[in-house]
Amino acid sequence: MAEKKIQCVCGFGCGSSLMLRMAVDDILKKNGLSADTFTGDVGTCLSNPCDVIFISRELAERIVDRASVPVIIIENFMDSNEVEEKVLAYMNSQ
Amino acid sequence: MEELVTLQRIGSRKKAENWQEAIRRAGELLLENGDIEEKYIDNMIESVRELGPYIVLTKGFALAHAAPSAVVKRTGISLINLEKSVDFGSSNDPVSVVMCMACVDKQSHIEHLQKLAMKLMEEGMIDKLSKCETDDELYKTINGV
C-alpha cells in the first residue's frame, strides 16, 4: 500500500500547520507508522493531492463542503493526546 | 546552546486590553528590531479577523503570524506574556502568552520553528511562560538555560 499523504493546514501553511505536522510526525514515529506529511494553507489546500486533511475547527468550515478527502478537525494543535487519538483513528481506518 | 528567542525580542508582563493589542505588543518587538514593517502587525490582526482565532494553538497560547510578504525584512520570532490575559474568542481562551512569527518564505524558518515547537509542547511550558515576571526569566524559560 502506498504511503498515505497527510496534509496539515493553517492560514498560510507556515506557522501553526508546521506545529501540527510535527505533532503528527511525532506520533507516527512513536507508533511505528509511516506517512508522507506536509503543510498547506487554507486557500490552496484543496488543490494539493493528499489522502486526508488535518485542520483547525475555524478553518475547516471553509473547506469541508468542497473537500474530496476526509477532513479531520483538531481543536488543539499542541495537544499530543488529541492529535494522537485522531491520527491513530485515521491510520487504523485505512 | 542555540537561542530560540533572543532577549531583545522578549517582553514580560505586557499590558493589553484585548487580543488586537496583545498581537500588537508582540509584533512591536519585531518592528523595533527591524524584522518587519508596521504593516505586518496589521496583517496579523487582519488574518485573525478573517480566518478566526485558530492561532490560539493550545490553552493560553497564541502564535500570531501572517503570510510571508515584502513587509517582512527578515525572519524573526518574538515572545511576550501578558500582565492580564485576553480572550481571542477561542475555546483555548484566555491567552496570556503570545508568540509572533514573521518569515521571509515558507521554508527557511522550519527547522527553527520545529525546535521551538518541541520546547512549547513540553509539559507545563505555557503555564511556566505565563508566570515569568521578568524578561530574563522568560528568556531563560524559553531557551532552557
- ipTM higher than 0.90? no
Q: Average pLDDT of A10-23?
A: 86
Task: Indicate yes or no: CB of A80 within 8 angstroms of CB of B121.
Answer: yes
What pLDDT does residue A1 have? Answer: 64
Task: Compute the count of residue pairs across chains A and B with CB atoms less than 8 Å apart.
Answer: 72
Q: Return d(Cα B38, Cα B29) in angstroms, integer.
A: 11
**Which pLDDT value is given to residue A68?**
96
State the DSSP H helix or E strand holding residue A36, giving kind and residue range, or none if neither: strand A36-41
The average pLDDT across A73-88 equals 91
Q: Does B57 touch chain A (CB under 8 A)?
A: yes
CB-based contact, B91 to chain A, within 8 Å: yes
Sign of CA dihedral A19, A20, A21, A26: positive
pLDDT category of residue A93 using cuts at 50, 70 and 90: very high
Contact B55 A79 (CB under 8 A): no
The pLDDT confidence band at residue A14, using thresholds 50, 70 and 90, is confident
Output the pTM of the full model: 0.88
Q: Does B7 touch chain A (CB under 8 A)?
A: no
* pLDDT attached to residue B33: 97
B56: nearest Cα among B96, B28, B16, B13? B96
pLDDT of residue A78: 83
What secondary structure does DSSP assign to B72-102, as a single string? B-S-EEEEEEEEEEE--SSTT--EEEEEEEE
* Ranges of residues in chain B whose predicted pLDDT is under 50: none
Give residue B1's pLDDT. 54
Per residue in A31-59, pLDDT (tens digit) is 999 999 999 999 999 999 999 999 998 89
Q: Which of A9, A10, A14, A80 to substitute to test the interface with B, most B CBs within 10 Å?
A: A14
Task: For residue B76, give the nearest of B53, B47, B52, B108 by alpha carbon.
Answer: B108
Task: Determine if residue B13 is left, alpha or beta; phi over 0 gives left, psi from -120 to 50 gives alpha, anything else beta.
Answer: left
Q: Are B56 and B90 in contact (CB under 8 A)?
A: yes
* Domains, chain A, ordered by start: 5-93 (3.40.50.2300)
Treating both helix axes as pointing N-terminal to C-terminal, what angle do A16-30 and B110-120 enclose, rounded to 10 degrees?
A: 70
The Cα of A57 is separated from the nearest Cα of chain B by a number of Å equal to 8
Amino acid at A40: G
Judge whether residue A74 has pLDDT over 90.
Answer: yes
pLDDT of residue A2: 80
- Predicted local distance difference test score (pLDDT) of residue B2: 72
Q: Which domains does chain B have, with CATH numbers?
A: 7-134 (3.40.930.10)
**Does the beta carbon of B113 lie under 8 angstroms from any beta carbon of chain A?**
yes
Query: At residue B90, what is the residue type?
Result: S
Model pLDDT, residue B118? 84
